[in-house]
Amino acid sequence: MFRVLGREAGPEMFLALVLLLIIGIAVATEMAGLSMALGAFLAGLLMAETDYRHQIEVDIEPFKGLLLGLFFVSVGMSIDIASLANRPEWLLASVLGLVIIKAPIILVLARAFGQPLPVAVETGILLFQGGEFAFLVVAMALDVGLMPEETAQFMLIVASLSMMVTPLLANLGMRLALELEDRSAKRGVTGMESTDDLTDHVIVVGYGRVGRSVAGTLSSQEIDHISIDIDAARVARYRREGRGVVFGDASHPEMLKRLGAGRALALVVTLDRQTDAERIVEVASHNWPDLVIHARARDNAHATRLTTRGADRVVPEALEAGLHLAEGLLIDIGMPQTAARQAVEARRQLAQADLQERLDKASHQNPA
């Protein structure tokens, strides 16, 4: 049905089929003695297995937001606010009880499934509350007489309050997880004794997308290297994966010395922060004049500044991205691969000549 309507009919008919299936399956399950909610849930599972699930998600998104809002409004209207004023101490104790009981249980489970401590802590704090299924369970229990009205009201208020305080505790959990990751990262680089044995290696400064790409290429060629990044959370995440990255500020000569800059083959600066990259290049070239320094530049002006500070080779990222796109474009529109590469290489040489001209002008303006 989806295939036929998706090919022959417009988006309105496609949306109508989605709603028909949801309502039809929900009514069918109710007629079979089950709940309409279960039918709607089964309909969602069925449609999630089709090839049209992404379009269905887009079409149903407005209805999902409206119906979810209607659901919570209806739950809120069923709550007796007067009972909140009658027993505030018990309500507060119950919400705290959810945190105290559920958060440690989820933390232990997360650790048992191999999650690191910062992730387990944040997960426990995020999932402590009573969710919307608590509303469904309590409402159904009340309808069939399994729970007294007073108890049902109390549990609805507790679940609602726990959900209300979740954003505040989620922020706390995130801060706590980042603090734990920061400490873990800093503990992981204390001493860095293993770098004493490194020689003829490459130092990669920055472990973002470009830094990871450079490090991966070096690993594929079995070239010894070590990476450094000042983002503690990033370092902690990739150290857990066994990557050779350490925490530290490469703009300090002592840090580069501990990474074996005097014994290294080259230094690669991949930072996108221009001032930081320039400072690191200047520090490295001043303290180790024979060290080969490659650097990533944002544009030609940044490349000029990096070169004047001692970089041996600078790659402007905007230029290389444009050349790479141009090469693929020329090949796809019919130019032979060899001719496309020659055209791109000629453009690259022109850009390098322009960069060299900029450097010559800069040296004339600043002869010192």
Residue 86 lies in a domain: no
CA–CA separation, 336 and 342 (whole Å): 10
Mean pLDDT of 160-172: 85
52 shares a domain with 199: no
Q: What angle do CA 241, 242, 244 make, to 5 degrees?
A: 125
327 shares a domain with 212: yes
223 shares a domain with 151: no
335 shares a domain with 203: yes
354 shares a domain with 220: yes
Q: Give the pTM.
A: 0.47
156 shares a domain with 199: no
Residue 85 lies in a domain: no
Q: What is the CATH number of the domain that holds 242?
A: 3.40.50.720
217 shares a domain with 290: yes
Residue numbers of the domain that contains 131: 98-182
Q: What is the DSSP string of 316-367?
A: EHHHHHHHHHHHHHHHHTT--HHHHHHHHHHHHHHHHHHHHHHHHHHHHH--
Q: Tell me the per-residue pLDDT of 196-252, one tens digit each, with 9 for 90 and over.
A: 677 889 999 999 888 888 888 888 888 888 999 888 778 878 877 778 888 888 888
Exposed e or buried b per residue across 40-76, where buried means at least 16 C-beta atoms within 10 angstroms of its C-beta: bebbeeebeeeebeebbeebbeeeeeeeeeeeeeebe
The count of domains in the chain is: 3
Ranking 40-54, 93-107, 263-277 by mean pLDDT, the lowest is 40-54
Residue 119 lies in a domain: yes
Closest CA to 348 of 329, 330, 321: 321
pLDDT at 9: 67
53 shares a domain with 32: yes
Q: What percent of the chain has pLDDT over 90?
A: 11
Q: Tell me the per-residue pLDDT of 9-45, one tens digit each, with 9 for 90 and over.
A: 677 787 888 888 889 999 999 899 887 878 888 888 8
Domain boundary among 149, 182, 215: 182
210 shares a domain with 147: no
pLDDT confidence tier of residue 192, bands split at 50, 70 and 90: very low
113 shares a domain with 158: yes
pLDDT surpassing 80 at residue 52:
no
For 135, residues 6+ apart whose C-beta sits below 8 A from its C-beta are: 71, 75, 156, 159
pLDDT at 240: 76
pLDDT surpassing 70 at residue 364:
no
